[in-house]
Homo-oligomer: A and B are copies of this chain.
Amino acid sequence: MAADHTRTAIITAAERLYAERGFADVTMRDIVAAADVNLAAVNYHFGSKDELIAELFVTRSLATNRERLRELKAAEEAGDGRADIHAIFAALVGPTLRGCLGPEKQRSDAARFMIRASIESVPPIRKIKNREVDHLKRFAAAMRRSLPDQDPADIFWALHFALAMAHQTIRDSERLTRMSDGLCDLNDVQAITDRVVAVAVMALTGRAARAPAKEPAKTKARA
C-alpha cells in the first residue's frame, strides 16, 4: 500500500546517509529531514534507532548473501560440482566490489551501507553478524570441493585475505589513489576484481613461493 511510503522513505534515506557518512555522524533528525517525514516516525515505524539499523542490516545482509550464493551456485554448476577456484573468489568479492567502486552512477547505497556496517560495528549489528561466519563457511566448503587436496587452513586464510583485500580497497581507495598518484585505476572494477581474485588464488595455490618457516613453530597440541 501507499501507506508504507513513510517507512520506505525512512529506509531509503537512512541507508544512503549511513552509507555516506557512517553511523556515528548521522542522527535521527538527519534521517527524517532527508526523508521529509516527522521525527517521531522512526520510533513509530521501527521502534527505535537500533531496530531501524538492525532491519536495514538484516535486509541487506540477506540480499548480499543471496547474490553471492547465486554466483557461487552458477560456478559450481558450470564445473559439475567443482567450481573453478577463480570463480569462487569472484563470487565472494565481486558483488560488493561492483556495488562500492566503479562509476559513481552505478554504485549502490546498499553495498556501501554493508561496508559501513562491517567497519563501524555498532551494537545492534554486532549481535546479528555472527551468521556471517556460517555464510563464509559455505564458500570454504566450495573451495574444498574445488581443491580437495589443499590444506584446509590455507583455504580459510585465502578466504580471509580475499575479503581483506576487497574490503580495504573499498574502504581506503582514496589512500591508494593518493599514494600511487593516480596510477592505480580505481574505476575499472573488473580489473580490480580480477586482481584480488588472482592474488587470492595465488595465496591458496602458490605455496611454493612462500618463505619456509625458520623453525617448525610451536604446533598446537591437538591430542
- Alpha-carbon distance A132/B181, docked complex (angstroms): 14
Q: Are A209 and B198 in contact (CB under 8 A)?
A: yes
**Cβ contacts under 8 Å, A168 to chain B:** 160-161, 163-164, 167-168
- Alpha-carbon distance A160/B167, docked complex (angstroms): 11
The size of the chain A interface, using a CB distance under 8 A, is 54
- Given known pairs A119-B119, A202-B199, A202-B209, the reply for A180 and B153 (CB within 8 Å) is yes
- Alpha-carbon distance A132/B176, docked complex (angstroms): 11
**Cβ contacts under 8 Å, A213 to chain B:** 190-191, 194
**Cβ contacts under 8 Å, A209 to chain B:** 198, 201-202, 205-206
Q: Which A residues lie at the B interface, using CB under 8 A?
A: 24, 86, 119-120, 132-133, 136-137, 140, 152-153, 156-157, 159-161, 163-165, 167-169, 172, 175-176, 178-180, 183-185, 187-188, 190-191, 194-195, 197-199, 201-203, 205-207, 209-211, 213-214, 217-218, 220
- Given known pairs A164-B167, A165-B165, A206-B202, the reply for A179 and B211 (CB within 8 Å) is no
Q: Are B190 and A217 in contact (CB under 8 A)?
A: yes
* Copies of this chain held together in the complex: 2
For the complex, would chain A's binding face be called helix, strand, loop or mixed by DSSP majority?
helix
**Cβ contacts under 8 Å, A202 to chain B:** 199, 202-203, 206, 209-210
- Alpha-carbon distance A165/B179, docked complex (angstroms): 18
Q: Closest chain B residue to A123 by CB distance?
A: B25
- Contact with A211, one of B86, B140, B153, B187 (Cβ below 8 angstroms): B86
- Alpha-carbon distance A12/B160, docked complex (angstroms): 33
- Given known pairs A164-B168, A195-B157, A202-B206, the reply for A218 and B188 (CB within 8 Å) is yes
- Alpha-carbon distance A197/B212, docked complex (angstroms): 12
- Alpha-carbon distance A198/B204, docked complex (angstroms): 11
With contacts A161-B165, A199-B203 known, what are 6 further pairs, Cβ within 8 A? Answer: A86-B211, A164-B167, A168-B168, A199-B202, A202-B206, A202-B210
